[in-house]
Amino acid sequence: MRNLEILGKKFRRAVEEESIVKIDDAARISVARGHLLAAHENLQAMEAEEKFARTASNPFPHKKWIITKGYYAMYKAALSLLAVKGWTDKRSHEPVPIALKFLYAEDPSVANEIAKMAEILEDSRTLRQRSTYGLYPSREEIERGSKEIPELARKFVEKAEDILRRVIQ
């Protein structure tokens, strides 16, 4: 119960700061579907970067894009899960995992899955930021991320679709 109170406090702060905003109730499903479509587009772009990385003389820039596109696939899938609950982000990616955990915390059929997905999203966001904005992200970090993120992203989007099917019914 204590964790839910803390999540609730963080969620309300994000709402007050307008980082997380309510969307029109009638648009929830169409917005969720739009985000899911964008998640799939990012997966396709990630897969194209994987192909480029395999054949490029310098694959390093492509590996950074694999991380970026994989993260955005997960992020858009996460937004689809928020949208179906009537919420979206406005200013920052940071509160999205908090909102996910809070909005699904009382649904025992998905709460644990969502909590794990939120952690994966947070870790992937950190890696994406380091690979994009870090002055000197290590080659090992980029190599590892470009191998791990694609599988995580595919599974994340697949899980989001599964949860949406269960929640929308």
Nearest to 72 by CA among 132, 32, 128: 128
pLDDT at 82 over 70: yes
- What does the pLDDT average to over 4-15? 95
- What does the pLDDT average to over 16-24? 96
* Res. 1 pLDDT band, cuts 50 70 90: low
pLDDT at 135: 64
Angstrom distance (rounded) from CA 160 to CA 120: 13
Q: Indicate the CATH number of 2-168 among 3.40.50.150, 1.20.120.330, 2.60.40.10, 3.40.50.1100.
A: 1.20.120.330
User: How far is residue 34 from each of residues 26, 75, 152, measured CA to CA in Å?
Assistant: 14, 13, 21
pTM assigned to the model = 0.94
